[in-house]
Amino acid sequence: MQLSQRFIMAYNKIDRQLQKRAGIEGYMGFSQLVRRVARKDTMIAQFEDDLLEYAELRNAIVHELVEPARVIAEPHASVVEHIEQIAKILEQPPLIIPRFQGEVTVVKDCDPILHVMDLIREHGYTQFPVYDETGRFKGLLTDRCLARWLTFEFEKLVTGAEHTSVAEVMQYDKAQGANVAFLSPHATVFDAYREFERHMTQDYHRLEAILITPKGRKDEPLLGIITPWDMFHVELP
């Protein structure tokens, strides 16, 4: 199969996905569809610039005015591979589960803070979802919160650390739960990207982690956790 044929096939697949996501009746041009859908769809927004360029390239490859669907140019192999990759991603979006699925280390608000310190030494984690005795989500214990607690309570540590609970340390958490987002397994990697981007301009309330639960609610069992470090190292298919 020629490169131009592969390009047009991938282009048409993307066009069908755009029409499906736009949910409109009647004809709308490819570029117009891209701009419209990108405003509300995280995946299309991720590839908006590339798709707009490919719309122009498609017009250069297929000369409709001389002869319908007549190919007059061959695209570069790297371009074809990239548009095929985009088409594949739009047809089968990479979900956050199973990519970020795994056992999550949680703590109770009544646990002694020394228990958390042991967990940090053992696993190297610095973020812990906190629940009360009834299983109710109370917030995310982070290294920032621990640092503030150490700053204000340093003098008491010499004699009272063994009696200090997670709940007492969580009082120094300025975010008060605003630094956590919840997503369901049906969310895509692009949805996770968007959540972190939305919090970038917030100071103490920047997003420290995304917790994955069956329906994206905080009163459900944890299926996984996504940190900013995870997103920085994620590789798309």
pLDDT value for 139:
94
Answering whether pTM is above 0.85, one says no
Are the C-beta atoms of 214 and 185 separated by less than 8 Å? Answer: yes
Quickly list DSSP for 53-77: HHHHHHHHHB-TTTSTT-B-----H
Longest dimension (CA), the chain: 87
- Give all domains of the chain, ordered by start, each with its CATH number: 3-92 (no CATH), 99-233 (3.10.580.10)
pLDDT for the residue 61 = 85
* Nearest in space to 223 (alpha carbons), one of 176, 178, 185, 177: 185
CA distance 183 to 226: 10
pLDDT computed for residue 37 by the predictor: 95
In the numeric block, the tokens 């299926």 are attached to: 223
Residue 111 near residue 192, CB atoms below 8 Å: no
DSSP assignment of 75-122: --HHHHHHHHHHHHHHHS--BHHHHTBS----EETTSBHHHHHHHHHH
Question: Both ends of the chain: CA-CA distance in Å?
Answer: 23
3-class SS of residue 22? helix
What burial class does residue 48 get, using C-beta atoms within 10 Å of its C-beta: 0-12 exposed, 13-18 middle, 19+ buried?
A: middle
How far is the C-alpha of 104 from the C-alpha of 101, rounded, in Å?
A: 9
The answer to whether the CB of 166 falls within 8 A of the CB of 130 is yes
CB within 8 Å of 183: residues ≥ 6 apart:
96, 191, 192, 195, 210, 211, 212, 213, 216, 226
| Segments in the chain below pLDDT 50 | 65, 204
pLDDT confidence of residue 152: 84
pLDDT in tens, 104-163: 999 999 999 989 999 999 998 889 999 999 999 999 999 989 988 888 877 766 666 677
